[in-house]
Structure 1
Amino acid sequence: MKLWLSWYPSFWAIYFCFWLRGSGDVRSYSTWIADAVWDYCSVLEDYGFGIEMLDDLISNFEWWTKEHRRDNGLYWSIDDRDAMECSISGSGFRPTLNSYLYADAAAISRLAEKAGKEVTASRFAKTAEKLKESVQNSLWNGDFFQVIPAEIDCKEKCFISCGTMDFEDIPADRNVKELIGYIPWYFNLPDAGYEKAFYYLTREENFLGKAGLRTADRSQPGAAGSEAADPGGMGVFPAGGGRDSWKNIYNPV
């Protein structure tokens, strides 16, 4: 990967600029673009580009904070804006966007430190730590990171309400384990002690399927799949559409 990136450094710089300064809509889907810029610079062992883009990365992060962060310290998102179509748990406070923004805040802090901007580095380091605490305190259901569902106006892209932050009060059909619960580990977010979630990853009763990993725990309400309906294990688009029609297609059986 390092060699491949070093062969095409200008391509990646142009690509990042397209999203942050060009015609790309960087917030059309959730993303961890600041973390990606940091990784790009780390591979090249040259942080000049990241420092140059620092204000753009901060601006993107601050937009998410202004528009999507609630008083509980978490960011809400629409499930299909996570680029994974509709999900059983639905929209709300999801492990996805909150993990991405944790990674972005940490990356901005490191880039700011490289730029000699100590105040900004400290501010974003604290932001990352607080978001990490919020994810661990609010999205952990005792043995897994899950979505806290909320009512979102998807057309207007605005938050309406969250009925409860208590998993015991969430309806069973939305109080579910999904593969996105492992995303926090991709960004090294969880502290030690949360590893019990991986118990479900290798069990056929839960995520392990014959053709790969299921995107939803097979034991959850509404998540039952069948080999006849999904022989390839990749999911199919059922006739009829709508969220309910998705409930049975996320399972490589």
Structure 2
Amino acid sequence: MNGPEIHVEFAPELLLFVPQARPAGTLKAATDGVSSLGHVIESLGVPLTEVGALFVDGREVPVGHVPAAGESVTVRAVAHPQRVPGAPLRFLLDVHLGTLARRLRLLGVDTAYEATDIGDPALAARSAAEKRVMLSRDRGLLRRRELWAGAFVYSTRPEEQLPYVLGRFRPELRPWTRCTACNGLLRGATKEQVADQLKGGTHRTYDVFAQCTECGRAYWKGAHHEQLEAIVERALAGFGEDR
């Protein structure tokens, strides 16, 4: 893009995407008199999923605003908690976020997950068809126009990813109600109903079970329950309904 320039100032949270604007958070960008401000911002490397309010010379403008030469633009980060209107809050995660997907399901959050790389077009199409918020670290994927909604997951560490997503979207938490393997809903089950999935020691030791209504997987308070309970307790303490 060549042409007259505008002055752009980015919120500190967005400098990850525009290293050329560091350390002051500002840069100059060329305009062509046709492209929208949203297009200009994305061309600089910032997915619009991460952009909040936009201001031009002190007045708020939509992403469709066509910038003129000499304008000063302020780009704020998306506000937290972020509200996604028009559908129940549900998520779709790409192949790189499997641990995050399982932990969201552990908390009862409706979370679809693609365990194989089906490609950006297919992910974006599923996000739109099922009205799910796409969570990803793939900036190109988050720039696809057909997405229902999306968010960049800033950390590579699951213990940081989970509180970030919970803080950004504040989903309703209903721990122990979803299958961590397939996202199906759980229901109580008798030992006889899940006996074919139990080894001898488990069959003798445990009496309380749940089973996925979709894939049939059995659940009980096994050896890893304390670790899972700790994840649940931290989430409820920080992001439960009474917070």
- Say whether the fold is shared (TM-score over 0.5): no
- Name the one with the larger strand percent: 2
TM interval, shorter chain, is under 0.3
- TM superposition score normalised by structure 1: 0.22
Say which one has the larger Rg.
2
- TM superposition score normalised by structure 2: 0.22
- Name the one with the larger helix percent: 1
